[in-house]
Amino acid sequence: MARDRQTALLFPGQGSQTADMRETVERQRPDLLELALEEVGPDLFERAADGTRWAQPAIYCAALAGWRELDTDGDVMAGHSLGEITALVAADAISAEDGLRLIAARGRLMQEAAETTGDGGMTAVRARDDNRDAIAEVAAEAGVSIANDNAPDQLVLSGAVGALDTAEALLKERGIRAKRLPVAGAFHSPLMEPAVEPFQAAVDAIEIAEPRVPVYSCVTAEPFDDIPQRLVEAITHPVRWFEVLRALDGRGVTDFVETGPGRVLTNLVKKSLAMEAAGA
């Protein structure tokens, strides 16, 4: 029997920035553009590739503008990392202005945490069903975290640079491919702990309502329960995106619509659910 059609709106995270973000925001959300330039700086979009301080608010604004351009809504929503906050705004749990202030604080605090530790990075690992346990064992032995579970074939490790060097060597011994990412921080790992307390204060300063549709948390891979707690936990906890997609598929979602910028999440959906179907 065919499924009743259900749509999931997906809001992207860092790494999805594109060159046309400012134009999209200026066209669809000039109010957000003005506030973003005040909150973050006049070169916000031009510096989106320079670090989380600029990338996160730029992507947030572009994703909300992209959603308006699509002129569609979802039965359920989810966001990758910072995209969780964008999804909560789209679901009327947080105002767009508070969302921008929260994202601006998040990006700044995460970058400051990376600069404070001064010794962090991330490594993408080519995963398969038969090597995920080995990757987890290597991560534990090297003292790094699995920061992102993005798809059946993509895990990301996060930790101190020396520990990542060890992890990469151990993975190579096992014939597992790994590639260091061009980021200067151990995001979604315990090394982000300096950002937790001040981000908690930023979360406590805004009003949060019940979402009008379910919004999935990357911390739990379930609909948000305690929104403030989950948003703060997301700073140091892994992004369980593959599990989020499986949960959405399990609840009967038939259509996945990415708001942009970019098409990172669309590609992860195709990869994840196609592989799940092939392995079923």
Domain boundary among 147, 163, 180: 180
Asked if 48 contacts 19 with a C-beta cutoff of 8 angstroms, the reply is no
Same domain, residue pair 218 and 110 = yes
**What pLDDT is attached to residue 117?**
84
Give me the pLDDT at residue 4, please: 79
Note whether 105 and 207 are same-domain residues: yes
- 110 and 127 housed in the same domain: no
Catalytic residue among 16, 81, 145, 189: 81
CATH number of the domain bearing residue 19: 3.40.366.10
Q: Do 195 and 239 share a domain, yes or no?
A: yes
- pLDDT, position 118: 84
Q: What is the CATH number of the domain that holds 158?
A: 3.30.70.250
262 in the same domain as 134: no
User: Of 180, 197, 223, which residue is a domain's last?
Assistant: 180
Q: Which one from 16, 145, 158, 188 is the annotated catalytic residue?
A: 188
* Residue 30: per-residue pLDDT: 96
Known catalytic residue at 217: no
Q: Is 237 a catalytic residue?
A: no
Same domain, 236 and 175: no
Domain assignment present for residue 229? The answer is yes
For the chain, which ranges sit under pLDDT 70?
1-3, 275-280
Q: Are 212 and 92 a contacting pair, CB within 8 Å?
A: yes
Q: Tell me what pLDDT residue 278 has.
A: 45
pLDDT of residue 223: 98
Q: What pLDDT shows up at residue 2?
A: 54
Whether 94 and 167 map to the same domain: the answer is no
The verdict on 21 and 108 lying in the same domain is: yes
Is the domain of 29 the same as that of 14?
yes
Parent domain of 26: 7-116+189-279
Among 180, 203, 227, give the residue marking a domain's end: 180
What pLDDT was estimated at residue 280? Answer: 37
Q: pTM to 2 decimals?
A: 0.95
The count of structural domains within the chain is: 2
pLDDT for the residue 80 = 98
